[in-house]
Homo-oligomer: A and B are copies of this chain.
Amino acid sequence: METVKIGMIGYKFMGKAHSHAYRDLPLFFPNTIHPEMKVICGRDLKAVASAAKQFGWEEYTTDWKSLLQREDIDLIDINAPSDVHKEITIAAAQAGKHVFCEKPLTLTLKDSREMLEAVEAAGVKHMVGFNYRFAPAVMLAKKLIDEGRLGEIYHFRAWFLQDWLVDPNFPRVWRLQKDIAGSGSHGDLGGHLIDIAHYLIGDMTEVIGMNDTFIKERPLPSQMTGLTATVSNQAEKGKVTVDDATLFLARFANGALGSFEATRYATGHRCTNSFEINGSKGSVIFDFERMNELQVYFADDREDVQGFRRVLATDPAHAFAQNWWPPGHTIGYEHTFIHEIVELMEAFREDRQPVPNFRDGVKCQEVLEAVDLSIEKRKWMRISEI
């Protein structure tokens, strides 16, 4: 297998990010299998035609099912809205196509489990788009933990803070509708934190959460697309049916304590996606707004020079860094997607499942749902009982 031929469904924010990754991968990672950008699919003919040209796809279509019948498509990349992930995934798997699906896998745990069953039954490869795992600074944290350099882990705290909903006149876009988006800050932002926790710390055993919707009604947008929307002066109002902020406490299987916060009302924070881990031998702190950096502390440093180090993960010793630029030259958000696709391509080369895959997606959904249940029932929920 020399290339993996891609059919992609979706062409908005994530469609652009994925296209960029496919397009740039061969330049920076010439020695792995390369993706081929065969067909892009979307509902609006004119828009998808334009996206095809802009992003560099060979063909475009509005009929996603047609992709499944083509022999020259190996993998279906699904980044359409979450409410259609399940139908497409199951059909793709049954057609023998490999599947790369954006997070969240789908709106409910039940649906995500059916998706996992489908891909496993079909024996295809499956991947879920938790791209933050692929920041080199996050991978450094993983390495330090795996090598025991942080010792026993006592604590994980994570917070994903945005502020795009602080303006009460921001319109009621689809991301604020439970039937389309599934949840609000919880699934969108908290989902990333949960996956990072699984990646770095491991399974959780129980959780309890709280949430709120601070502004309950917002003007209806006259037009909406992706993350932006316009709103007319005297727009009617519609109900916000998702959470604006969700917090929860967790216990990990290894005994560590966890705290999680996701909010779209943290004024001043555009995209503060952070975590801190405290272990018996050391600690690390990450902030996505400075995604090339990891703060690292070692308890056995000489006693007069102990302190958090600001490590710039751009040295040859850091994951993927040699494929980019000389030390000190930072990379951007979109490169996490390139690294993600490298993992996907390597999985093809080595004929194994990529990581994270649908099992990770389901695990994330389990925690999301356990938190929601804990809020509804006002009590601790065990993950194993979900």
Contacts and interface: CB of A to CB of B under 8 A. Distances in A.
Interface in A9-68: 13, 16-17, 19-20, 23-24, 26-27, 30, 53-56
A95 interface: no
A296 interface: yes
Interface of A: 13, 16-17, 19-20, 23-24, 26-27, 30, 53-56, 140, 143-144, 154-155, 157, 159, 161-164, 166, 208-210, 212, 214, 227, 245, 247-249, 251, 255, 257, 259, 261, 263, 265-272, 278-283, 288-292, 296-299, 301, 303-312, 314-318, 325-335, 378-380
B280 A267 contact: yes
Contacts of A17: 325
Contacts of A289: 292, 312, 328, 330
Contact of A259 (B56, B259, B279, B292): B259
A271 B245 CA distance: 28
Nearest 3 interchain pairs by C-beta: A271-B328, A270-B328, A268-B297
A201 to B, nearest CB: 14
11 contacts: A208-B208, A208-B249, A210-B251, A210-B257, A212-B257, A214-B255, A269-B283, A270-B327, A270-B328, A309-B309, A329-B334
A305 B299 contact: no
Given A214-B154, A309-B307, A299 B268 contact: yes
Contacts of A164: 326-327
Contact of A266 (B23, B155, B214, B301): B155
